[in-house]
Amino acid sequence: MRIRPIIHFSTNFEPTRLFAMKASQSKVLFNLFGKDVFTFELVNDHGMKVSLSNYGGIVQSLIFLDRDGNFVDVVLGFDKIEDYLSADYLKNYPYFGAIIGRYANRISQAKFPVDGQLIHVSSNTPPHQLHGGVEGFDKKVWEVISVEEHPTPKVKLAYLSADGEEGFPGNVEITLIFELNNQNELSLMIEAVTDAATAINMCNHCYFNLNGDGSLIEDHLVEIPADYYLAQDADYVVTGELIATKNSTHDFLNPTPIGQNSIPGEGYDQAFVLNKSARTWGKAASAFSPKTGITLEVLTDQPGVQFYSGKYLEVQNGKNGVHYKPFTSFCFETQHHPNSVNIPSFAQTILRPGEKYQSKTVFKLSCSNPSE
């Protein structure tokens, strides 16, 4: 999606402030499960714009200026929120822009132990569970708590996941805070509390294309500060084994084109172990488009990131009618290591009463000067 604005550039290639910081809420778009669905728009002083919805916590668009002064929408999705519920889209469902929970990625055999009891959860990719089950947080209508404009544009959403939902124990209260600042950072903060021991491991599932179209992303330069990635079986289930990234096809310790070392027709769908401790702040990944000059940097307090280059993507009639094909986008899903509930050597993801689950991820956009 490209919109050419009338805009002036200063000598340091930053747009003059023709925009005003804003947070707005749409009228009711439709009602689902007896709850009203809205969209929200966050804008900073530089014109960076985020559109999101309380349906699924979906980030619908993320718009930023490229090196030529074009506004570029760098995330995949649809022009209308209603399209995220269409049968055609759900048939080959990629979780565009949504909040994933209660548990991101795959839980082996759709079961895990908690305090000596074996918990069985829904199996939506038999025999495993993927991204929270049949109707995870990505398909829920979240309650709107607040929409704030100052000091920075912010939207706060909440959801109560009832005991037994998708097989998970405990009533879990979750809050999401989306916030946009003038450093061109979109932050996502997640908090959760429970009344019974349960598994929780959440993430955002945006698909990025920094060219702003349906083109292949093989030329995007990706960097992931991870000395190890996690082995997985034929069903993409993490086994617990760590594999060194250096000099492998998964070596992104330095900026590397996505297509340089990937296996043709396979690409990447792998969990990386970040070179930092859990709950410490640091870089998870970055990507750069030589075409637009846009860089995406992802920062997080989570210990891992799932890098997915869209092997199974097949979505008709995306934004502006674009057909999204395999390898036309990528995901950086910040989270605890997948299947941690079944791997004792991994940091555990069981939340207990009296504790608070907290995570924060920042998506920071910048753009290089054409002369650089």
Catalytic hit among 179, 333, 336, 337: 333
Distances (CA, A) of 291 to 79, 280, 355: 24, 33, 46
What single-letter DSSP state applies at residue 103?
B
Residue with token string 């990706």: 222
Residue 327: φ, ψ to 5°: 65, 30
Tell me whether residue 250 is one of the annotated catalytic residues. no
Q: How far apart are CA 361 and CA 340, in angstroms?
A: 20
Residue 232: φ, ψ to 5°: -145, 160
Catalytic hit among 46, 128, 205, 250: 205
Cβ atoms of 220 and 192 closer than 8 Å: no
The 3-state DSSP composition of the chain as helix, strand, coil percent (nearest 5) reads: 10, 40, 50
Q: How many helices (H) and strands (E) does the chain have?
A: 2, 30
Cβ atoms of 305 and 285 closer than 8 Å: yes
Helix (H, G, I), strand (E, B) or coil at 71: strand
Q: How far apart are CA 80 and CA 232, in angstroms?
A: 36
Amino acid code (one letter) for 4? R
Q: How far apart are CA 321 and CA 365, in angstroms?
A: 25
What single-letter DSSP state applies at residue 328?
S
Tell me whether residue 131 is one of the annotated catalytic residues. no
Residues with catalytic function: 205, 333
